[in-house]
Amino acid sequence: MHQDDFPTPGWKERFPEPIKFLPVIFILGIIGGLYWIYLTCHLLPRLQESKTTTTAAWEFAAFHAVTLMLLVCYFLSVFVHPGTIPDKEEDPSWEYDGSEDPQPIAVDTALHIRQEQKRSGERRKCKWCLKYKPDRTHHCRVCRMCILKMDHHCPWIYNCVGFRNYKYFFLLLVYTNIDCVLVVSTMLPSVRAGTQPTTPFMTMFLLIFGETLAGFLCVLVTMFLGFHIYLMLQAMTTIEFCEKSTRGGFRASIYDRGFVGNICAVLGDNPLLWMLPMAPPKGRGLTFVTEDTRLTQDMEAGRGLRRRAHEAKEAAHIAPKRRTDRPYSTGGTGSTGQSEEDSQSGSGSEEVPRAVADVGSSRDRPARASAAETGSYGATAVGEERVLRASKGSILAPVMTSR
């Protein structure tokens, strides 16, 4: 089901306090002021000069194209709802009743989808909305609802930045940065010319004010854009970044899909439309674990590790039994003629092994040679050891007597 098939909250529910539109009006005032300064104090005078007409024409086209994209992305960031948990009529499985027992984490074995959980193992739930929370969902007290893949609440757009409008907000930062760089770099010759004594004071003031304001915004927006580029490549939101920083670790996100996959998760699947305010990421925003995410890959790797560990454990359990059941050979191998049980119990004297070794060394040479030729020396030695042990009483006595 496409995300637009799900209804969004009404106007009064989304914007309950009109006074909070003041930051939006302030931002529009800044955009309009810089536009007017750049147009009247820089572009139009340069278009009237024959030496700078061509350059000013290119600047005019580029500036208006970028500014148009900026305004489109800004209005989309303000008016596109970031997405919320489905209502009971849409999907009753997200409804939470306080009297119900805690429900276990749902798992889809086909895609290995797992929901985030509390430390107790229960599903995350919102006590204000009385709904279970999907992955990466948080409750916004300003918007008074749960926001899917919530990044942060931005007062400058009077809206939360979440699953459905994050692309527009990201492109807003991109085009704002481009516009500020364009204004600062191209208006600098006009600022230098405006410092001449013949320049009217108001023109000089507007040029210096516009250049300073554009430069200040350029620095701020560049830093903010760089931060969000980092978040996009790390498959994290601002809330997840803050949670990791407070916990003292910046391990890779379980939603990591690789370099290109993380970009597609923000800007959409079609690279040709990445820089256009259209074709946002697919999905409803209720789950983010796919076959390409790190969580699924770690689960598969964990299964392989557990399988190898289990096989190694079984092999280690079988090996001692084989060593215990195999008797040791005597004569020429450095063995004392004791089994593993004898060596552990300490039975037998020092003279008995020497006598057996001596007898074996004098009588076993033909057997060893023939065994080596046939490649069955180990089996012959085992058989000889059994014979020697069986005849201890009959052989040792003459030997000891002769000594």
Q: Which residues are tagged catalytic? A: 154
Q: What angle do CA 295, 299, 302 make, to 5 degrees?
A: 135
CA distance 60 to 62: 6
Determine the distance from the C-alpha atom of residue 353 to the mean position of all C-alpha atoms in its chain, rounded to a whole number.
65
CA distance 376 to 372: 6
For 116: left if phi > 0, alpha if psi spans -120 to 50, otherwise beta; the answer is beta
